């Protein structure tokens, strides 16, 4: 019994820690919606199932109709959640030269998307300080700030990039989450 209590305690601690580690820009796990959808489904199911005035085929039709409504609602809410999430990341680049002649090229410093599900666009970028050029990868997965200095001097700038979920990733994730989620709801 002590072993079981210890296992339960450890599992609860790990689950709690995992939830704390979720980043603000990530969508919450789809199972977080279970407490909202499962009771509603059970109530609808009970009302349809216990109605003696409805034929079996009509009960199935009504139940499927209600499940479709719930799925559509979940898809809409889930898509809005993905679309509302973003994260702003930054990278600082600088260049110093002690020589009075020529141009020193210190190259690019890059910031990448937090995961492959994210991307950025040119109009989601801003630079504070010196901007000697921006390199945005074609897929929006990373962006860099170039820094040079002419003659003696020092240049410094910070590139800020907002990353959002890719629309193709969102569409696929919403469909997959809906399938997995409703397997739990209608159990």
DSSP E strands in 43-167: the ranges are 86-97, 103-112, 118-119, 125-129, 134-136, 142-150, 153-165
Q: DSSP 3-state assignment of 87?
A: strand
pTM of the model: 0.80
pLDDT by residue (tens digit) across 11-38?
444 444 444 456 899 999 999 999 999 9
pLDDT by residue (tens digit) across 124-169?
999 999 999 999 999 999 999 999 999 889 999 999 999 999 999 9
Backbone φ and ψ of 115, nearest 5°: -160, 170
């Amino acid at each position: 019994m002590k072993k079981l209590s210890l296992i339960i305690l450890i599992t609860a601690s790990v689950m709690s820690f995992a939830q704390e580690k979720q980043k603000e820009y990530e969508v919450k796990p789809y199972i977080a919606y279970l407490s909202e959808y499962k009771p509603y489904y059970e109530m609808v199911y009970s009302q349809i199932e216990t109605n003696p005035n409805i034929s079996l085929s009509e009960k199935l039709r009504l139940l499927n109709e209600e499940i479709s409504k719930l799925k559509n609602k979940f898809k809409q809410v889930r898509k809005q959640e993905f679309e509302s999430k973003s994260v702003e990341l930054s990278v600082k680049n600088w260049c110093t030269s002690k020589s009075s002649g020529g141009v020193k090229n210190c190259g690019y410093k890059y910031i990448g998307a937090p995961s492959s599900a994210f991307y950025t666009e040119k109009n989601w970028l801003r630079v504070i300080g010196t901007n000697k050029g921006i390199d945005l990868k074609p897929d929006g997965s990373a962006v860099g700030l170039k820094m040079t200095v002419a003659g003696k001097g020092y240049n410094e700038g910070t590139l800020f990039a907002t990353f959002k979920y890719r629309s193709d990733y969102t569409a696929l994730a919403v469909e997959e989450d809906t399938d997995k989620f409703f397997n739990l709801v209608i159990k």
